[in-house]
Copies of this chain bind each other. A is one copy, B any other.
Amino acid sequence: MDKISIGPQTLISPMPTLLVGANVDAKPNFMAVAWGGIAGSQPPMISVGIQPHRYTYKGIRQNMTFSVNVPSTDMVREADYCGIVSGSRVDKVEVCQFKVFYGKLDDAPLIEQCPINLECKVVHILDLGSHSLVIGRIEETHVSESCLTDGKPDISKIKPFAFITSPTSQYQALGEVIAKAFSIGRELEAKE
């Protein structure tokens, strides 16, 4: 398998379209989530906003674990499908031909085709109205070896994509590098 384990890390920023997984009644299911965010680094934490009537949410509550899988641009069709249909009606793993694997946690199904996979344990669930904010501690991270450069996950190989809502609902790839971080801003130090 094209995977190595690199420990718990917060690798998914910028917030791309995510496939959140859970075992529902002991069977893996995945939903598309745009409203995910890194929440902390020590320990690594992630938040995902999920409507509580979702089928995947049932599995998260059953096991108090979940996975976060980052699809590449070549998986946009599958990711979109996982946001359209409910696992209560169809077996998305079969329709999308996802190869599912497990890592450190027993009940957090991971998608082999996704270049980044996080295994998470639920530490908080906040009821925010339409959505429950599920906060997970990232217990392990898996990355496809083919997406490494000099041993580091390389965003240009991972090719995540973003969900855009306005002016229309669409997916967009990442574009050009516009600046080096913690660097270009130093130009302003002369004005202090």
Known: A15-B15, A81-B185, A173-B174. 7 other contacts (CB 8 A): A14-B15, A34-B38, A45-B128, A45-B131, A77-B187, A163-B181, A170-B179
Whether A131 and B174, one on each chain, are in contact in the complex, defined by CB atoms closer than 8 angstroms, is no
Grouping DSSP codes into helix (H, G, I), strand (E, B) and loop, the A interface class, with mixed when no group exceeds half, is: mixed
From B80, B163, B169, B181, A14 is in contact (CB under 8 Å) with B163
Contacts of A42 in B (CB 8 A): 129-130
Interface residues on A, range: 35 or more
Number of copies: 2
Contacts of A16 in B (CB 8 A): 14
How far apart are the CA atoms of A178 and B80 in the complex, in Å?
12
From B82, B95, B131, B184, A80 is in contact (CB under 8 Å) with B184
Contacts of A177 in B (CB 8 A): 164, 170-172
Closest to A94 in B: B191
Q: A37-B49, A40-B129, A84-B185 are in contact. Are A171 and B167 (CB under 8 A)?
A: no
